[in-house]
């Protein structure tokens, strides 16, 4: 937590004689924060009964300690301290909005805190929570200001996303009977991409479980949920264009629409991924004629033959179909681990690919050129749907005559691939990058190969968005090009954990990840303090 505390002018709170006032905490705990100063025993100099009768009745006073910054996950970036009782929800309190665009945010926080949602109102009442849009042009749309003063709360931001995040802060502050401290919070994320990716292709997760993750992500101020739903082991979403490829255990389109709608209500974009030209085993199982075979006729696992027009046609059918189901702005094209490129001589091993490359791109073109061209063609298909695209870093190749489309963002996960390229190679060309560092952010079921389950403590203490590969950060000058990061759950050994075990296993890593994406600086809390806070907030 990088909190800037500004001391406000101290002031006394006067209370009319005979009227009781509750002394609320201005810290982050649920009980009183210290006791009020005792009223002075003012006495009249006159001692006679008449003189005492004429003496003014003393007015008891209470003063409050200076408030402390709220304790939330992620921590707020700035809190201006003040003196006062703070705010906590009570029966009869209202949530009101200044703009119809904030109706969803208003209804949600009212329901969560047991308040009355009163809609658009201009009158002011004790205990109100008011949501408002401001005219702060050029401000981060995910930023917000929350003011707690005079027994009321105002949350404002330049867009509904920021106001929503302000309601998440308020929800955490009052969790378990706590009090929102007096003062002003000014908050915004360091990084615009804060994600969780789920491999629902290798392991079927129920819609209800995914919805629970959406609610968890929303409360933690994540803003992306990746769904990798096509791989060698399964294709997990109902299809109208190619029902023959869909696995028995899958999500219906109705279930996906509910997930997408729930995510949108939490300002989370669902990022779909149909990985190609590798990891297409489920598609190939229904279309074995499209499987890549080497010069000896041996099939190549998970790889589609990109020299065939039919291969492009089926993948484009799916891209266009699911673009309707996932209306968000983001799309993941995959592009990793095409097995034709892991052999020592791709052109000799796959002469049909080499021939197609020369025909399409000239006599000097090779299989890597053809594979890059495939990625670019799929990018053309999804770009026409108005999406911003990303691809895994091992889908980008050096020393090719065909270059990956300039608007493709790099989803950097590993430095273990053949011909591995350092993150700086991408960043130095101006590409934008999303950090999926497999050293810290990969939760791989069963811990195959060299993977171990990541811990929240290691992320919290050692990782930052600049640590893209391994444990070493890239130069700070590239920070603006690193858009953020994503924690990833991969289900290589799908039966190693139940979905509830997965939820428990990623709980603290998610909280540590979002803390480092919301504020790139060194946290003020120790890991033990951070974990205790997470346990208290639930």
The DSSP output letter for 100 is G
Pairing label, strands 4-6, 78-81: parallel
Chain centroid to Cα 24, Å, comes to 33
Nearest alpha carbon to residue 323 among 396, 237, 250, 212: 237
Distance CA 10, CA 73 (A): 28
Which helix H or strand E contains 264, and what residues bound it? helix 253-265
Distance CA 393, CA 426 (A): 9
Nearest alpha carbon to residue 3 among 181, 225, 210, 245: 181
| Cα separation values, 427 from 219, 335, 368, 441, 533, Å | 32, 19, 21, 20, 36
Site of tokens 């205990």: 127
Contacts of 309 by beta carbon, 8 Å cutoff, 6+ apart? none
C-beta neighbour count of 445 within 10 angstroms: 22
- CA pseudo-torsion sign 275, 281, 284, 286: negative
Distance CA 346, CA 474 (A): 32
The DSSP output letter for 480 is G
Of 105, 182, 273, 337, which residue is the catalytic one? 337
120 is a catalytic site residue: no
Q: Token pair of 119, please?
A: 């809609």
Q: Token pair of 96, please?
A: 């009101």
User: What residues are labeled active site?
Assistant: 337
């Amino acid at each position: 937590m990088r909190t800037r505390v500004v001391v406000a002018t101290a002031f006394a709170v006067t209370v009319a004689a005979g009227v009781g006032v509750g002394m609320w905490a201005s810290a982050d705990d649920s009980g009183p924060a210290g006791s009020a100063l005792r009223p002075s025993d003012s006495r009249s100099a006159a001692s006679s009964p008449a003189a005492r009768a004429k003496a003014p009745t003393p007015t008891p006073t209470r003063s409050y300690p200076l408030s402390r910054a709220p304790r939330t996950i992620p921590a707020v970036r700035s809190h201006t301290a003040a003196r006062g009782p703070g705010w906590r929800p009570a029966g009869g309190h209202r949530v009101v909005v200044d703009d119809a665009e904030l109706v969803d945010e208003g209804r949600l926080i009212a329901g969560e805190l047991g308040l009355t949602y009163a809609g658009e109102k201009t009158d002011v009442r004790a205990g109100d929570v008011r949501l408002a849009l401001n005219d702060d042009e050029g401000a981060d749309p995910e930023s917000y200001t929350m003011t707690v003063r005079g027994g009321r709360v105002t949350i404002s931001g330049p867009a509904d996303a920021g106001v929503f995040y302000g309601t998440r802060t308020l929800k955490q502050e009052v969790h378990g009977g706590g009090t929102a401290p007096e003062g002003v919070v000014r908050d915004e994320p360091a990084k615009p991409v804060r994600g969780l990716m789920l491999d629902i292709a290798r392991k079927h997760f129920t819609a209800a479980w995914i919805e629970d993750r959406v609610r968890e992500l929303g409360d933690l101020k994540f803003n992306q949920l990746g769904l990798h739903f096509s791989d060698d082991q399964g294709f997990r979403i109902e299809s109208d264009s190619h029902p023959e490829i869909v696995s028995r255990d899958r999500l219906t389109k109705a279930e996906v629409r509910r997930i997408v709608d729930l995510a949108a209500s939490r300002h989370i974009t669902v990022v779909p991924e149909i990985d190609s030209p590798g990891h297409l085993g489920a598609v190939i199982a229904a279309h074995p004629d499209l499987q890549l075979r080497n010069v000896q006729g041996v099939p190549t696992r998970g790889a589609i033959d990109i020299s065939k027009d039919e291969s492009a046609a089926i993948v484009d059918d799916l891209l266009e179909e699911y673009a309707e189901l996932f209306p968000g702005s983001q799309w993941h094209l995959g592009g990793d681990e095409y097995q034709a490129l892991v052999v020592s001589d791709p052109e000799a091993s796959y002469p049909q690919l080499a021939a197609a490359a020369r025909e399409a791109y000239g006599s000097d073109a090779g299989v890597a050129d053809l594979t890059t061209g495939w990625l670019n063609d799929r990018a053309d298909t999804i770009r026409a749907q108005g999406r911003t695209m990303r691809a895994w870093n091992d889908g980008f190749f050096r020393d090719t005559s065909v270059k990956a489309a300039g608007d493709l963002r790099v989803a950097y996960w590993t430095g273990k691939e053949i011909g591995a390229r350092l993150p700086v190679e991408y960043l130095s060309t101006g590409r934008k990058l999303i950090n999926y560092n497999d050293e810290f952010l990969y939760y791989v079921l069963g811990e195959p190969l060299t993977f171990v389950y990541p811990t929240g403590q290691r992320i919290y203490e050692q990782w930052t968005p600049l640590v893209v590969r391994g444990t070493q950060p890239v130069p700070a000058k590239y920070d603006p090009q690193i858009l953020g990061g994503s924690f990833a759950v991969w289900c290589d050994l799908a039966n190693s954990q139940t979905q509830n075990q997965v939820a428990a296993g990623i709980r603290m890593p998610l909280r540590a990840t979002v803390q480092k994406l919301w504020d790139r600086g060194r946290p003020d809390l120790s890991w033990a303090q951070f974990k205790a806070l997470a346990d208290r907030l639930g």
